[in-house]
Amino acid sequence: MKDLRKKRILVTGGAGFLGSHLCERLLQEGHDVLCVDNFFTGSRENIIHLLDSNRFEFMRHDICFPLYVEVDEIYNFACPASPLHYQADPIQTIKTSVFGAMNLLGLAKRLNCKIFQASTSEVYGDPHVHPQKEDYWGNVNPIGIRSCYDEGKRCAETLFFDYHRKNHVQIRVARIFNTYGPRMHPNDGRVVSNFIVQALQNQPITIYGDGTQTRSFCYVDDLIEVAIRLMNSQEIGPINIGNPTEFQIIDLAEQIIQLTGSSSQIIHQPLPSDDPKQRRPDISKAKALLNWQPRVSLQEGLKATIAYFESCLKLGISYPG
């Protein structure tokens, strides 16, 4: 007899950093996983260990185009998340967020199934309210270099709520704050992977601006746990998920130098335009509604991430100079 608790779950962006951890966790829980990815920033290496499972299936597909599959739940994680990569092809980034959301919401509507959206703290832009709560509407430049991502994700949220209001689609919208961990790509361009890769090679640590801008870093395992809790709850969101402990970027650099025992020097490079000056989630909603709070400290998470990049180095994966 079929176990009704076991589902067939679609994870878009499943070959990326977060998506691959999510696929792994859902398989561990006994579900069947259909992973869809176009390998824009994801890679086969992230999911190679899952390919042996007969409950895991991979499909190479761009979510800008309609997808006809039969599943019980959808997690939409497809979208480049690093400023370096989402700015490389900004029009494709908007298409992924907007056309991708429309295609997947259409699928969820036909299947009458739950759909989770990996939204972002970027919907708050360079925030005037600190820490950021879900009822803050944000401060986003509509025509800047980050807009393809920020406005794309904002439009996707609009689509999610309109499909919910008009078509009763069961949505789950999570606003994810900076998350890091093993399987970030060494050339990803985001701050944690950049600093660790630089430190491990005793290369200069590149701080953009004076390093006083802040971020709050969540370890991947904490993030995946709360994403699944949200999906399994009755909440539609939007709901902030992330770690509320805030650090200046300069503190992050110093901590990574210390943990790696690196001889790297800190150098300063120009701050990219529209780079948010501060970011910290108010997670009271996630705490109260999902009974969740992050468990992994920055130091603990950094150690695991450093070990991962060390093993990449040993395997001879080359990093940029």
Total residues at interface with ligand NAD (CB under 6 A): 28
Among 11, 16, 213, 215, binds ligand NAD (CB under 6 A): 16
Q: Which does 15 bind (CB under 5 to 8 A by kind): ligand NAD, ligand UDP, none?
A: ligand NAD
Q: Which of the residues 160 through 189 are near ligand UDP (CB under 6 A)?
A: 178
The 85-114 contact track toward ligand NAD, x by CB under 6 A, reads -----------x---x--------------
Catalytic residue among 86, 149, 163, 219: 149
- Please name the amino acid found at residue 149: Y
Q: Which is nearer to ligand NAD, 163 or 217 (CB)?
A: 217
Q: Helix or strand or coil: residue 266?
A: strand
The question of whether 149 is a catalytic residue gets the answer yes
Q: Which is nearer to ligand UDP, 114 or 215 (CB)?
A: 215
220 vs 301: CA distance, rounded Å: 8
Among 191, 196, 199, 239, binds ligand UDP (CB under 6 A): 191
Which DSSP state fits 183?
A: T
Which DSSP state fits 212?
A: -
Among 7, 114, 175, 215, binds ligand UDP (CB under 6 A): 215
56: closest CA among 116, 14, 18, 94?
A: 14
Q: Which does 13 bind (CB under 5 to 8 A by kind): ligand UDP, ligand NAD, none?
A: ligand NAD
Total residues at interface with ligand UDP (CB under 6 A): 15
127 binding ligand NAD? (CB under 6 A): no
220 vs 181: CA distance, rounded Å: 5
Among 266, 275, 304, 313, binds ligand UDP (CB under 6 A): 275
Q: Which is nearer to ligand UDP, 82 or 243 (CB)?
A: 82
Among 207, 227, 283, 298, binds ligand UDP (CB under 6 A): 207
Q: Helix or strand or coil: residue 2?
A: coil
53 vs 105: CA distance, rounded Å: 28
3-state secondary structure 127-167: CCCCCECCCCCCECCCCCCCHHHHHHHHHHHHHHHHHHHHH
39 binding ligand NAD? (CB under 6 A): yes
Q: Which does 16 bind (CB under 5 to 8 A by kind): ligand NAD, ligand UDP, none?
A: ligand NAD
CB distance 293 to 218 below 8 Å: no
- CA 235 to chain CA centroid, Å, is 20
65 binding ligand NAD? (CB under 6 A): no
Specify which residues 247 forms β-bridges with: 215
Q: Helix or strand or coil: residue 118?
A: strand
Active-site annotation, residues: 149
